[in-house]
Amino acid sequence: MAKTVRLSIEYGVGVGAHPSFPDREGFGRRAIRMNPEELRETLARQMDALQSVADRFGVNVQHVKVHGALYNQAAADPSLAALIGETMRAINPGLIVVALAGSVMADVLERIGVRVAREAFIDRGYAADGALVPRDRAHALVTEPHEAAFRAVRLARDGLVAAEDGTEIAVQSDTLCIHGDNPSAVLLARAVRRALDEAEITVTPMASLV
């Protein structure tokens, strides 16, 4: 965490947290049954761990995006989305919470007065209903830099992405995601940034958009 915060400061990038269910073995991608208070406590502990590191460098955690199974559940569960939003607002009313564009979570966060950044995915497949294709299915991942770059420009400029069945989905987003554990992540990121620059699409800090 210290290395990441140091690099964020060096490159002018906002520091963000990525808390999840307490599931190290499953990398946070398995759903865990927790009562609301337990979930609040584990989220608060994870946020505090990063803010404690950030304090050493004199910066604040700017944004938070819950990870894996928790993100996917909250996208469709209004009560869970509200719990996450209220927990983050209690930690820091100025926190930006990242949510899947077009999801229940994004709408709930906006309704309860949380700063929300609506997110689209460059390296994940979309189902026709706007949900992400589960990772155990075909078309779940985008690994080709050219395809990722094309998707990024269409999302940023036109607000459109093609679903796995070819359906065109309207996606109004503030931020784009590339997963760090995608084996092609660095190649994708370079191709995407080059394509955005060539399309004269300006990349700006998240805090200036929401």
Q: How confident is the model at residue 139 (pLDDT cuts 50, 70, 90)?
A: confident
Report the CATH fold assignment for 1-118: TIM Barrel (3.20.20)
Q: Report pLDDT for 210.
A: 82
Provide the pLDDT for residue 209: 83
Q: Which helix (H) or strand (E) holds 120?
A: strand 115-121
**Which residue is it, tokens 């092609």?**
184
Mean pLDDT score of the chain? 95
| In the predicted structure, residue 11 carries a pLDDT above the cut 90 | yes
Q: What pTM does this model have?
A: 0.93
The domain ranges of the chain are 1-118, 122-204
* The residue to which tokens 């930690």 are assigned: 91
Give the pLDDT confidence score for residue 29 in this predicted structure.
Answer: 86
Burial class of 40 by CB neighbour count within 10 A (0 to 12, 13 to 18, 19+): middle
Model confidence pLDDT, tens digit, residues 166-177: 999 999 999 999
